[in-house]
Amino acid sequence: MFFSSRFRVPTIAIALALAIGCSSDTNSPNAPGAERPPEALNVSRLSTTAPPLEESTVSFWAIKGVSTEQKLYFLDAQGQRGEEYLALKLENESLSLRPDGSPIAEGDSVLITITVEDPALLLFELQPTGLKFSAMAPAELKIHYAQADDDLNEDGDVDAEDSRLETILGIWRQELPGQPFVRLGSVNVEEAQELEAKLLGFSRYAIAY
């Protein structure tokens, strides 16, 4: 479990705060569109007691005109498939442009790969880099953080400051290695302990503050 429920902010309130941030709080360091150099981004870590992943890399073919969903899972205590870790969903018309800019026609397929870059961090790469999705039917990314380390600021204590930091956790995107991370307009769904974001393209993603 990530944080005690007494510190949680209602899901609707978080969604509303994100919506307001998009329109009026653009100068906030945690507003959608805010940038952070890699060395200044605090990427969340998995707890040392988190179970191992079933797979750290998975590939699948996505076909334009066919909705699809791919997931990563933790293992349970018996070594079988356990809790969901990450889910990527594409609608029928999500696929739009290949990395070279050429349009993806109905029935065309694209090989997509999801990679957990470091098993200790909530840091992922989605390939092929540069793949573009329709603004009318973006891809949907969901990342569960139930197994994340409670000590977000890594000061050795789990306290009210960590609870405050949880409220500003979001999904951040890095276009290319070395470039700044940009915060997406993500929503924290507390009941499922997950962050959700709509994607218009593929690159590197992290849960961070």
Over residues 38-57, the pLDDT tens digits come to 999 999 999 999 999 999 99
Determine contact, residues 176/114, Cβ cutoff 8 Å.
no
Task: Report domain extents, the chain.
Answer: 5-208
pLDDT at 177: 85
pLDDT of amino acid 194? 87
CA distance 97 to 42: 32
Task: Return the amino acid letter for 70.
Answer: Q
The sheet carrying 35-36 orders its strands as 35-36, 181-183, 170-174, 204-208, 123-127, 109-116, 57-63
User: What pTM does this model have?
Assistant: 0.81
Contacts of 143 (CB under 8 A, 6+ apart): 85, 86, 122, 124, 171, 194, 195, 205, 207
**How far is residue 95's CA from residue 137's CA, in Å, rounded to a whole number?**
8
CA 63 to chain centre: 22
Question: What is residue 30's predicted lDDT score, i.e. its pLDDT?
Answer: 84
The encoded tokens of residue 18 equal 């994100």
**Averaged pLDDT, groups of 10, the chain, 209 residues long:** 36 37 56 93 94 96 97 95 96 96 97 94 94 96 93 89 88 92 88 88 93
* pLDDT value of residue 73: 97
Instruction: Say what the pLDDT of residue 27 is.
Output: 65
Q: In angstroms, rounded to a whole number, what is the distance separating the alpha carbons of residues 71 and 86? A: 5
Q: Which CA distances in Å does 55 have to 72, 99, 132?
A: 7, 26, 25
